Chains A and B, each alone.
Chain A
């Protein structure tokens, strides 16, 4: 049972390059999320999706775009990478958005922008 799988695990980009982070879940979850984690700041929500074909902005959406074309996949795009986007990115999913539904996290993508 894979759970939530993120690819790639590590990536180094130059300023201005673009890339897409991939997230796949095999738990048939409706809700999916993208977070970034920076030292001393916990997890901050970038974008989320409450179902296939829907996306919404989180706390820190600027500079990122997302797509949820299939229920099991949630893609995070950086159109023009900036050093401020150096971070660890986590994808998560939950069965619903309900209060008692735990979020299941992937192992993270460590992204460095030079």
Chain B
């Protein structure tokens, strides 16, 4: 089956850098995605990694190591508005179609 592990909570201060890790166990792996969700809001897509290495999009970067079944989301120059839940999700083949399987989420609290 598929499983993903990520920390339940992370706390950081404004202006700092924070890394949210995600380890996964799955068959038929296609890629690792990250989504952001503010309280009461909808999940929104942040990044996708299909190959090993680092993908950078502004203040956010995402890393994947397929051999280690591991990835992380790196948030730099943290701002108060970055306080949200962050979900890693693996795209894996299941039941004939590839689907997104979500982790339980990491709640990031940014303090002044």
Seen from chain A, the residues whose Cβ lies within 8 Å of a Cβ on chain B are 4, 35, 40-45, 48, 50, 56-59, 90, 92, 97-100, 102-108
Contacts and interface: CB of A to CB of B under 8 A. Distances in A.
Interface size class on chain B is 20 to 34
B30 A99 contact: yes
Interface stretch (B10-18, B59-67, B73-81, B98-106): B98-106
A42 B104 contact: yes
B112 interface: no
Contacts of A90: 42-43
Contacts of B89: 43
Tell me whether chain B's interface is mostly helix, strand or loop, or mixed: strand
A97 B33 contact: no
A106 B42 contact: yes
A35 B103 CA distance: 13
A105 B43 contact: yes
A57 B94 CA distance: 11
B95 interface: yes
B72 interface: no
User: Which of A50, A98, A100, A104 is the most central at the interface, judged by chain B CB atoms within 10 Å of its CB?
Assistant: A100
Contact of B99 (A4, A40, A48, A100): A48
